[in-house]
Amino acid sequence: MREIVLDTETTGFDAEGADRIVEIGALELVNHLPTGRSFHVYINPERAMPKEAFEVHGLGDDFLRDKPTFAQVARDFLDFIGPDSRLVIHNATFDMRFLNAELTRAGHPALPMARAVDTLEIARRRFPGAPATLDALCRRFGVDNSGRELHGALLDSQLLAEVYLELVGGRQPDLVLVGPAGGPSDAPGLRMQSRGPRTRPLPSRLTQAEAEAHAAFVEKLGDGAVWRRFGDA
């Protein structure tokens, strides 16, 4: 099962009006495990960046001026998410409205809302009445969000991936998200790291007395004992 954990940053809240997407960050999960593939792009919104948006994202007009427009990156974005992968998004209605508004302007079909998995809704169902922001969920699950001083689409999608795995059943303890150099992940290029194979097998915890008692028990059961049929006695 392929899923794309996705986040966008925008100039405001009016998707069908003057506001536009300025950043997209996404990463790929297959069977709830990160593959290391990610997509990240800054986008020229073709409008002035409002002061309040700059304060949230730290992205100004000078920085965004030479970035591609959404129409120029739309095909790459669609190729990355694929035709049917589920889109894991926190507050999915917001991001899907902006993505579909941008896709429509660029001449592409809109994404079906049915593709979206809304982690905000999942969190509210699991923890009714509790705060369900991404920061609150990071605190609940012990996900390190200390680098989240400003909203950034790629960092937020990385944090959301960890939160999502907790929401759907918990991270495997021997799997962590790490960066290309092997340290904690803070950049594109996530890969899986697992503990290596044991250099020595663990010693048996069965005592000699327990082994002898088991052998005597099997002997009493006769030739039909399941342990005899499978070669364990």
| Active site amino acids | 151
Q: Any idea what DSSP says for residue 184?
A: B
Q: Are 143 and 5 in contact (CB under 8 A)?
A: no
The closest of 75, 79, 83, 81 to 95, measured between CA atoms, is 81
Q: Which spans in the chain are helix H? A: 51-57, 61-64, 70-81, 92-105, 119-126, 134-141, 153-167, 208-221, 226-229
The closest of 27, 58, 30, 42 to 159, measured between CA atoms, is 27
Give residue 223's identity as a one-letter amino acid code. Answer: D
Q: Given strand 86-89, what is the order of strands in its sheet?
A: 33-42, 21-30, 2-10, 86-89, 116-118
Give the total residue count for the chain. Answer: 233
Q: Any idea what DSSP says for residue 113?
A: G
User: How far apart are the two ends of the chain, measured CA to CA in Å?
Assistant: 42
